[in-house]
Amino acid sequence: MKAARSLVHDFGEVEQLQVSQKGPADFVSEADRRADEILKRELQRARPGFALLMEESGETPGTVAGERWIVDPLDGTTNFLHGIPHFAISIGYESQGQLVAGLIYDPLRDETFWAERGKGAFLNNHRMRVSGRRNMGEAIVATGVPFGDRPGKAETLAVLEPVMERTAGLRRMGSAALDLAYVAAGRYEAFWEFGLSPWDVAAGIVIVREAGGFVSRVDGRGEPLLGADSILAANAHLHQPVGDMVRAAIKAAKARVD
């Protein structure tokens, strides 16, 4: 993939990249922009007329009604710019308002997580399933902590202590796309986060579901997920218990404030 090769090249020269700031701790690099341009060009070539929603270049209207790519050219930008080898390209495909396919590619590990609705989920060429763990005490749970004054920070911090007390471990790795991919691959039992954008989750939602997992809002409601302010993904056994734990912690924190 051309965009992946570009990112790998730039990652090797991360100290020389030109970097601009969109906001506190929210960086955009030349690498990010280059990957965006390459993906946009190649996707338009592959499916002329499809609309695009991309983190960097925004929304591009299409001429084919109801067909859209939802793309994050570099999920984990802050990791990338600090030389932390944990980032990915995320591409979701939406047809007539339904997410029907997704691909998340980790170029450094050469791992492609992909799925098509009704056809299963795969890691490279091997079938992929969520973990079968049922015990919360054996579960690894991932999240993202909003930085600065972004929405969801208070709720996230309220949940950290009970999650750490009741599970086998909490991970905050800095790439929501890979967090979802890791749930699908059985590496994590669950993942929740507040304040994500459609390009962060579009591909991962399809992949988790096709791997046998459940995806909802943190409050337990279902669709529409792309416009939601939160996401909870987990295996079938732990989706409800993890959701109950997160919701109870948030409720308790709000009661203390009131």
Q: Give residue-wise pLDDT tens across range 51-105.
A: 999 988 888 888 899 999 999 999 998 898 888 999 999 999 999 999 999 999 9
Q: Whose structure tokens read 């459940």?
A: 214
pTM for this predicted structure? 0.91
Q: How far is CA 196 from the centre of its chain?
A: 8
Residues 6+ apart with CB under 8 A from 107: 1, 4, 5, 7, 8, 88, 89
Q: Give residue-wise pLDDT tens across range 143-163.
A: 988 777 776 677 778 888 888
Question: What pLDDT score does 72 carry?
Answer: 95
Percent pLDDT > 70 in the chain is: 90
How many CB atoms within 10 Å of residue 47?
16
What domains are there in the chain, each with its CATH number? 2-128 (3.30.540.10), 136-257 (3.40.190.80)
Question: What pLDDT score does 23 carry?
Answer: 57
Q: Directed axis angle between helix 2-11 and helix 30-46, to 10°?
A: 170
Question: What pLDDT score does 17 carry?
Answer: 67
The rounded distance, in Å, linking the Cα atoms of 204 and 183 is 9
Residue 86, both tokens = 């944990």
Helix H, strand E, coil C: the string for 162-217 is HHHHHCCEEECCCCHHHHHHHHHCCCCCEEEEECCCHHHHHHHHHHHHHCCCEEEC
The rounded distance, in Å, linking the Cα atoms of 139 and 173 is 16
Question: What pLDDT score does 192 carry?
Answer: 93
**Residue 166, burial from CB neighbour count under 10 angstroms (0-12, 13-18, 19+):** middle
Q: Per-block average pLDDT, block size 10, for the chain (258 residues)?
A: 72 68 64 88 92 89 93 92 92 95 96 97 97 96 82 78 92 96 98 92 98 93 77 96 91 70
Question: What pLDDT score does 94 carry?
Answer: 96
How many CB atoms within 10 Å of residue 138?
13
Percent pLDDT > 90 in the chain is: 60
b vs e for 192-228, b when ≥16 Cβ sit within 10 Å of the residue's Cβ? bbbbbebbbbbbbbbbbbbbbbbbbbbeeeeeebbeb
Question: What pLDDT score does 151 carry?
Answer: 66
The rounded distance, in Å, linking the Cα atoms of 175 and 181 is 10
For residue 244, the 8-state DSSP code is H
Is 81:66 a contact under the CB 8 Å cutoff? Answer: no
